[in-house]
Amino acid sequence: MNKLLHVLLWKMNLQAVIATVGILVLASGVGTYVYASSTSNFQQTINIGTLAIDIVDASYVTVASPSVVMSTATFSFACQTITGTFGTASQNIYVSNPDAADNGWTASLAASATTAVWDSVGTDYDFNDNGTSGCADSGVDVDTLGGQMTVDPSVGTLAVGQCNSCVTTNVTKGSSTAYVEGTTNSITVLTGAAASNDIGDWKLTGVSVSQKIPEEQVPATDYDINMVLSIVAS
Amino acid sequence: MQRLFLIISTAAVLLTLPLNLRGLEYGGLGGRPANPNPAIPNSQNWFIYELAAGTVKEDAVIISNGGTEPVTALIYPADATRSSDGGFALKQQTETMTGVGSWVRLYPNDRPTFAAGSNTSIIEWCGSSLDGNGSRANRLTPTQKLELIAWCRGVANHELTIEGGREISLPFIMSAPPGLSVGEHTGGIVIQKKQPTADLTESGIQITTRVGVRIYQTVPGTVKKELRISGFNISPAAQPGYYTVTLSLSNGSSVSLNQLSRISITNLWTRQHQTIERPGQVLHDDELVINFPLKKPFLGRLRLQATVTYDVDGQPQLITSRIIHVTNVHWSLLIILVLVLISIGGMLIKRRRAHSNQETTRYTVKAHEDVSAIADRFHLSWQQLAKLNQLKPPYRLTPGQVLIIPKQKTSRTRSTSRKNH
């Protein structure tokens, strides 16, 4: 071993050895040296982050194309309901507040347009029409389609995310609400009160989504709708 | 050999860096004001302006991507809207903007070449009406001025891609239109993630996420702050076993008001008491409807009243609702009650039938006869006789008074008397 070290030192420039050892020590964090000086002034700034909402997997990695899969329905002469779950183990609703919204925040879910519909090729049905308990067109909105979606965050499971010292206190799940065009275009999913953790992250799973399908709705396998999950600081 | 050591040491440093960076954790797409004023509370989170009608302000929004992957985002201003439960929300890009969402113009594009590198503000180049007639415009050629006019219009929305860990400052102009009413006008700037279309093989919902940064524009002037309770009701909830308590608050003033709603619930039968609180903001000229879920009691009569507190120029204001009552008996108790009532009813019917089957005869009281003598005569106890004839103490009889006697007793008396004869 000594012989090997001797050969290595002989082969190398002494200054390079000292520099290399120094870099390795600093990089590994094994030793920390503070040189005493009357003018020493160590400063560090950690900027606040920005409030964010996302759909992440169990490892907190953003899901590229998040979606909510609804239960299948069979053609019926009567109005029927399909259900789905927004927020799953692989697609968590995730709120991150890195000291960016001390007054609290509101997370809400809305369709990408108030005139949006469950769209399939050649046939659609509505998501925000409360005619006949959501089963038929009310005539209030511009389209002539029936169908209504209800979102119930209150049955979901709220948990702290990666923050070990955080709590879910003062973070409230929204109540069960149905979309009604012109009246309820946006449904509150989560609310962080001012007293909630200023630095914290939370994840929500198991939000119930149910959709009334009008009677005699044409069968199709590709009904879909675009929705937007928003967060705004209070 | 020397080079080899340098390569190894450099590699060691590079390998160590990611270990330290893990502490950054999640970082999503977000936004914040670029020029917060430390003297104005919350200006690090919101754009807070106090612009007189007909004036403009230049500002910028910082758009950050705290993640590691590039993200394409759509930036647009939007009017404020109300979410369920009174939450603050911003309109979707597809909706028509009539307020703040229509007063903000974005300036993502480079300035015209003749203005490039200039530190002069957009307003100075474009003028307060953003028509290209700013103080610098007089020195321009007609062609340059046309180019400037086009640029000064700005854009209503902008799509950009931000590398991971980067921030971009996007300038914008906020205008307070001439004639804008005194008071507050709210909206925000939205940073919406542009996501690839999900490949859904089943019926489903495609989700996009976005973050909004609020804009509070207040036109200076005298404002009246007043909140009133416009509705307070209770109704069965869609979720079994729950009521929905609905409280409606109307804000007729021209500024948003922060309030704390408190529902006080007392079970008058069990004397149990609970309070539900919900803080929130009521936007100006708006009605906030708050739904409180309330678990139905197993048994009880509930008394509910709402109190709302809000602040007017440092003075706390308190308003109270009407009192409402609701009675709830759990279905299992109702079933037991119905069964008990059916049982009692059945017993009464049975007894009445037994009574009606029991034939009676009449007996006229003679002189010097009393209750016990007549009872003995018909083999009855005096109490039975008194009860059957509804006689009251001291049970005196008068001659000629007619008494009801069970027939079977009279028959037995007759048969007994025949035997004796």
Smallest CA–CA distance, residue B161 to chain A, in Å, is: 15
Q: Give the pLDDT band of residue B25 (cuts 50, 70, 90).
A: very low
The DSSP 8-state label assigned to residue B86 in this structure reads G
Binary contact (A233, B46; C-beta < 8 A): yes
Domain boundaries, chain B: 23-109+154-196+208-219, 227-331, 358-420
Interface of A with B in 68-87 (CB under 8 A): 68-70, 72-73, 82, 84, 86
User: Does B200 sit within 8 Å of A69, measured CB to CB?
Assistant: yes
Confidence of residue B33 (pLDDT cuts 50, 70, 90): very high
What is the reported pLDDT for B16?
Answer: 41
Nearest CA in chain B to A87: B207
Q: What per-residue confidence (pLDDT) applies to A233? A: 87
Nearest CA in chain B to A195: B279
Cis peptide bond prior to B394, omega within 30° of 0 = yes
Identify any residues that bridge with B209 across adjacent strands, giving them in sequence order: A229
B-chain CB neighbours of A212 within 8 Å are: none
User: Which of B22, B84, B162, B259 is the best mutation test for A, with the most CBs of A within 10 A?
Assistant: B84
Closest chain A CA to residue B210: A230
Q: How far is B289 from chain A (nearest CA, A)?
A: 11
- Same fold for the domain at B227-331 and the one at B358-420? no
The predicted structure's pLDDT at residue B191: 96
Q: Can you give the pLDDT at residue A45?
A: 59
**Are A80 and A145 in contact, with CB atoms under 8 Å apart?**
no
B17 or A234, higher pLDDT: A234
**CB of A46 within 8 Å of any CB in chain B?**
no
Prediction ipTM score: 0.78
List, for residues B231-270, the tens digit of each pLDDT value: 999 988 777 888 889 999 998 888 888 889 999 999 999 9
For A154, nearest residue in chain B (alpha carbons):
B293
Cross-strand pairs, B286: B251
Average pLDDT, chain B: 83
CB B202 to CB A188 under 8 A?
no
The answer to whether the Cβ–Cβ distance between A234 and B82 falls below 8 Å is no
Q: What does DSSP assign to residue A176?
A: P
Shortest Cα distance, chain B CAs vs residue A139, angstroms:
20
Q: What's the average model confidence in pLDDT over B112-127?
A: 80
Distance (Å) from the alpha carbon of B235 to chain A's nearest alpha carbon: 14
pLDDT at B96: 92
CATH of domain B358-420: 3.10.350.10
Among A112-116, A168-172, B282-286, B413-417, the least confident range: B413-417
Structure tokens at B110: 């480079």
Tell me the per-residue pLDDT of B174-186, one tens digit each, with 9 for 90 and over: 999 999 988 889 9
Neighbouring C-beta atoms of residue A59, cutoff 10 Å:
6
Residue B143 reports pLDDT greater than 60: yes
CATH architecture of the domain with range B23-109+154-196+208-219: Sandwich (2.60)
Tokens 């969402």, located at residue: B101
> Is B88 an interface residue toward A (CB < 8 Å)?
yes
- pLDDT for B4 equals 54
Q: Find out whether A188 and B85 touch, Cβ atoms under 8 Å.
A: yes
Between B28, B206, B244, which is nearest A54 by CB?
A: B28
CATH 1.10.443.10 for domain B227-331:
no
Average pLDDT of the residues in B271-280: 87
CB-closest option in A28, A162, A191 to B25: A162
- Which of A60, A230, A234 has the highest number of chain B CBs within 10 A, making it the mutation to test binding with B? A230
Count of C-beta atoms within a 10 Å radius of residue A122: 7
B6-34 average pLDDT score:
54
Q: Which helix (H) or strand (E) holds A23?
A: helix A14-28
Chain A (6-25) residues lying within 8 Å, Cβ to Cβ, of chain B: 8, 11-13, 16-17, 19-20, 23-24
A207 pairs with which residues across the strands? Answer: A86
CA atoms within 13 A on the CB side of B76: 21
The reported pLDDT for the residue numbered A193 is: 82
Give the DSSP H or E segment for B7. Answer: helix B2-21
Q: Which ranges of chain A have pLDDT less than 50?
A: 1, 5, 9, 21, 24-37
Contact B13 A27 (CB under 8 A): yes
Interchain contact, B45 vs A100, CB within 8 Å: yes
pLDDT in tens, B64-94: 998 888 999 999 999 999 888 778 899 999 9
User: Do residues B258 and B310 touch, judged by C-beta distance below 8 A?
Assistant: yes
Convert the pLDDT of each residue in B329-384 to its tens digit. Answer: 877 778 888 899 999 998 888 877 766 656 778 889 988 888 888 988 888 888 88
Residues of A in contact with B46 (CB under 8 A): 233
Look at A145 and B13; give whichever has higher pLDDT: A145
CB B33 within 8 A of CB B47: yes
DSSP state of A139: S
| pLDDT at site A212 | 93
Q: Would you mind telling me the total number of residues written for chain A in this entry?
A: 234
Question: CB-CB: which of A8, A228, A234 is closest to B208?
Answer: A228
- Local structure of residue B132 (DSSP, 8 states): S
pLDDT at B186: 92
Residue B297 has pLDDT above 80, yes or no: yes
